[in-house]
Chains A and B, each alone.
Chain A
Amino acid sequence: MLGAVSGALAGLLSAPAARAAKATVQKVFASSGAPNGYDPYKHKWLMCFDVDKCIGCGLCVDACKTENHVPQASHYFRTWIERYIIKKPKPGSDRTRGEVLVDSPNGGRDGFPPTVVPREEILKSFFVPKLCNLCESSPCTQVCPVGATFDTPDGAVLVDPNYCIGCGFCIQACPYGCRFLNPETKTAEKCNLCYHRITRGLKPACVEICPTEARIFGDLKNPVVDDRIQAFIQKNKVFSLKPHLGTEPRVMYANLDKEVR
Chain B
Amino acid sequence: MSRFKMPPQIFRLVLLTIGIVVSYLIARQLLTPASFRDFGFYRGAALEEVASRPPVYAGKKACDECHSEVLLKLAKGDHKTLSCEACHGVSQEHAGNPDITPVKLTGSHCIRCHEANPTRPAWFHQITVKNHYTGQKCTECHVPHQPNEVP
Instruction: Tell me the A residues contacting B by CB distance below 8 Å.
Output: 4-5, 7-9, 11-12, 19, 22, 27, 29-31, 33-35, 38, 40, 52-59, 63, 66-67, 83-85, 111-112, 114-115, 117, 119, 122, 125-127, 147-153, 158, 160-163, 192, 194-197, 199-200, 202-203, 205, 208-213
Besides the contacts A55-B120, A85-B119, A192-B50, what 13 more A-B pairs have beta carbons closer than 8 Å?
Answer: A4-B26, A4-B30, A5-B22, A8-B25, A27-B39, A33-B49, A59-B112, A84-B119, A150-B41, A152-B39, A162-B43, A200-B51, A210-B86
Give 21 pairs: A residue, B residue, CB < 8 Å, sorted on A.
Answer: A8-B26, A9-B25, A27-B44, A31-B52, A34-B52, A53-B121, A55-B113, A56-B120, A57-B112, A59-B112, A67-B56, A84-B119, A85-B118, A114-B117, A115-B117, A160-B42, A161-B49, A202-B57, A202-B59, A205-B57, A208-B59
Given contacts A8-B28, A40-B39, A209-B83, contact A200 B113 (CB under 8 A): no
Query: Do B51 and A196 have beta carbons less than 8 Å apart?
Result: yes
Name the B residues within 8 Å of A35 (CB-CB): 51-52
Query: Do B121 and A27 have beta carbons less than 8 Å apart?
Result: no
**Identity of the chain A residue whose Cβ is nearest the Cβ of B54 in the assembled complex:** A196
Query: Do A115 and B119 have beta carbons less than 8 Å apart?
Result: yes
Query: Do B113 and A211 have beta carbons less than 8 Å apart?
Result: yes
Given contacts A114-B117, A196-B51, A196-B52, contact A160 B26 (CB under 8 A): no
> In the complex, A57→B85 CA distance in Å?
14
Name the B residues within 8 Å of A66 (CB-CB): 56-57, 90
Query: Do A22 and B86 have beta carbons less than 8 Å apart?
Result: no
Among A67, A122, A160, contact of B55 (Cβ-Cβ < 8 Å): A67
The answer to whether the Cβ of B46 comes within 8 Å of any Cβ in the partner chain is yes
> In the complex, A5→B51 CA distance in Å?
35
Given contacts A27-B39, A56-B117, A160-B43, contact A34 B81 (CB under 8 A): no
Minimum CB–CB distance for B149 against chain A, Å: 18
Query: Do A209 and B117 have beta carbons less than 8 Å apart?
Result: no
**Identity of the chain B residue whose Cβ is nearest the Cβ of A150 in the assembled complex:** B42
Name the A residues within 8 Å of B119 (CB-CB): 56, 83-85, 112, 115, 125-127
Interface residues of B in 51-81 (CB under 8 A from A): 51-57, 59-60, 79, 81
Among A12, A67, A161, A213, contact of B81 (Cβ-Cβ < 8 Å): A213
Minimum CB–CB distance for B19 against chain A, Å: 11
Minimum CB–CB distance for A107 against chain B, Å: 15
Query: Do A208 and B81 have beta carbons less than 8 Å apart?
Result: no
> In the complex, A119→B120 CA distance in Å?
12
The answer to whether the Cβ of B37 comes within 8 Å of any Cβ in the partner chain is yes
> In the complex, A203→B59 CA distance in Å?
8
Minimum CB–CB distance for B95 against chain A, Å: 12
> In the complex, A22→B44 CA distance in Å?
11
Name the A residues within 8 Å of B42 (CB-CB): 147-150, 160, 163
> In the complex, A34→B49 CA distance in Å?
7
> In the complex, A31→B33 CA distance in Å?
17
Minimum CB–CB distance for A135 against chain B, Å: 15
The answer to whether the Cβ of B29 comes within 8 Å of any Cβ in the partner chain is yes
Minimum CB–CB distance for A170 against chain B, Å: 12
Name the A residues within 8 Å of B55 (CB-CB): 67, 194, 196-197, 200, 202
Question: B136-149: contact bitstring with A at CB < 8 Å (1 yes, 0 no)?
Answer: 00000000000000
Query: Do A126 and B26 have beta carbons less than 8 Å apart?
Result: no
Query: Do B124 and A212 have beta carbons less than 8 Å apart?
Result: yes
**Identity of the chain B residue whose Cβ is nearest the Cβ of A164 in the assembled complex:** B46
Query: Do A4 and B29 have beta carbons less than 8 Å apart?
Result: yes
> In the complex, A199→B47 CA distance in Å?
10
**Identity of the chain B residue whose Cβ is nearest the Cβ of A40 in the assembled complex:** B47
> In the complex, A260→B82 CA distance in Å?
27
> In the complex, A38→B50 CA distance in Å?
13
